[in-house]
Amino acid sequence: MNRELITRATKCMHDIERMGKIIGKCSSAIEEIGHGADIKVIGSIRPDINLNDCHLDDGQEALMQQLLIGILRNRLEDAEAELEMLLPKDAPPDEVR
């Protein structure tokens, strides 16, 4: 049972770290779009799409950042809550690693 909990907790920790990296990448991508970046959408079924000289005004850029980061933070909070449920209540978090 302990091994299973540690495995699940480790998976949650990895998910949290991965989501943190995704938040950073989304923020960087939106910032680049805001400064007139070219975008290539790589298709899985349809051919790739090239969007040249995409530009967001300051309000659109801020709105996109808030939207994506809000979604990812909600997922991050869900993963953290699941991790808390998996960890023993009496053990400090450092002991699990």
The whole-number pLDDT of residue 97 equals: 47
Q: What is the mean pLDDT of each run of 10 residues along the chain (97 residues)?
A: 79 83 78 68 75 71 78 80 75 54
Q: Which domain holds residue 75?
A: 2-95
**Contact (CB, 8 A) for 52 and 38:** yes
pLDDT digits (tens, 9 = 90+) for 5-27: 788 888 888 888 888 888 788 77
Cβ-proximal residues to 33 (8 Å cutoff; 6+ apart), any chain: 39, 54, 55, 56, 61, 64
The whole-number pLDDT of residue 90 equals: 66
The whole-number pLDDT of residue 95 equals: 54
Separation between Cα atoms, residue 82 and residue 67, nearest integer Å: 23
**Contact (CB, 8 A) for 19 and 69:** no
User: Angle of helix 2-34 relative to helix 58-86, nearest 10 degrees?
Assistant: 180
The whole-number pLDDT of residue 51 equals: 67
Q: What is the DSSP string of 59-83?
A: HHHHHHHHHHHHHHHHHHHHHHHHH
Cβ-proximal residues to 96 (8 Å cutoff; 6+ apart), any chain: 6, 9, 87
Domains identified in the chain, total number? 1
